[in-house]
Amino acid sequence: MKRAKVGVVGAAVLLSAAFPSSAANCATANQGACDRNAAGSGKECALADVAAGRGGDEIELKKRLPEIFAKCAAHYHALDAAAKPLSKDADGKDNVPHGFIRDKGVLDMRDVYWWASGHLAGAFWYLYEATGDAFFRERATAWTEVLAPNAKVTDNHDVGFIMYCSYGNARRLLKTSRYDALLLEAAKSLSTRFSDRLGLIRSWGAVNDAESFLVIPDNMMNLELLEWASKAEGGNRRFDEIARSHADVTMRHHFRQDGGTYHVLNYCQKDGRVQEIRRGQGASCCTAWSRGQSWAIYGYTMMYRETKERRYLDFARKLADFAINNPNMPEDGIPFWDYGAPGEERDSSAGAVMAAGLVELSEFVGGDAGRAYRAFAAKQLLSLSSPAYFSEGGEIGHFLLKHGVGFKPAGSEIDTPLVYGDYYFLEALLRFAK
């Protein structure tokens, strides 16, 4: 859970308040113990075995795609109708729907600085891409253009999520450059959080905080904005240098030997060492928070796409293999909210992000391994489009996916729809369709 609005209590403060004890923050000396505990935990199976017998899933998913997109479109027609009257608060400020408050039966509206505010607009852009319906283009434009103030945000890393999922898709689908200046400004804002000394983008906290330098794997997703900006007219190769540096340093420190991720690392700004591990949104410091793992799979695959550096592809495969072969991965391919919390809540958003990453990864890897990644993603997407995860009518406010988990250790957003889960579900379906 992350907050983007200046002057509002941020996620780093929330983490500190939620986890004041050593249960949340592990001494750096425990990093090796986590590696030893995790080592060898994966199933001993070849990737080719994952694809065995899964060809039927791909055939079934291809057959069902028109029906699935039609259902998604119907849901978002209804969601838009419900959200429009709530899109201004009492002070006239813009709000966007983030989720659904089940016990009150109302949409969970957040201000435009909320970290996931761009995913709603992006979902409408994806539905326009899937259907060609002008309604989705018009509503995507409306939900996008209220986000413009985020281009100036410098107090967190989520400007990449907010601006590229919305304006990035707008410029791609409309084939326009009218949003380029905003996107370049957003890239510059994100770059202000980069430390030349550490080679990292600070995820949370003030840029002048001398005590903490917090980094999370979610940050890999924001690098796509920088890679675009490095290639855009009027852009600068410095953005690419920042993105590669962050990806490389994160690769060295943020993952255990088996490929499982930590959530929050706190770096010492004097010598660059990891001075603290925090469990953050995960179950513990020695387990892998499932959505964080999915962010990383997706992020390193994206970095390979943008740079063609082989190390990013190889690392994306290691991260994907950790998840696919994990002994706690359920049969339907939708992870528990943490890989160290079997039997607890699933996180549909983690499954959706992972599926989107795996479809793209499969294209780059090719061969039997590539087919195995694609087959696993097809299984995940069939699961997510089944009644077990896909909502009926307005049961969750017309969002698509049930059973998301936002921030369980803080008691927030447990077994609920999450707009970013919908966004990456639609993206994964579109990638699969191509």
Rounded Cα gap, residues 27 and 347, in angstroms: 28
Could you tell me which of 349, 342, 346, 344 has the C-alpha nearest to residue 327?
342
Provide the 10 A C-beta neighbour count for residue 159. 30
Give how far the C-alpha of residue 103 lies from the chain's centroid of Cα atoms, to the nearest Å. 26
- Helix, strand or coil, per DSSP, at residue 406: strand
| Residue among 319, 313, 133 at smallest CA distance from 217 | 319
CB distance 306 to 374 below 8 Å: no
DSSP per residue over 156-198, as a string?
A: SSTHHHHHIIIIIHHHHHHT--TTHHHHHHHHHHHHTTEETTT
Cα of first residue to Cα of last residue in the chain, in angstroms, is 32
Length of the chain: 434
**CA separation for the pair 45, 190 (Å, rounded):** 41
Spatial distance between the Cα atoms of 156 and 2, rounded to a whole number of angstroms: 9
Question: Would you please indicate which residues are annotated as catalytic (active-site) residues?
Answer: 158, 218
User: Among residues 212, 225, 363, which one has the least CA distance to residue 306?
Assistant: 225
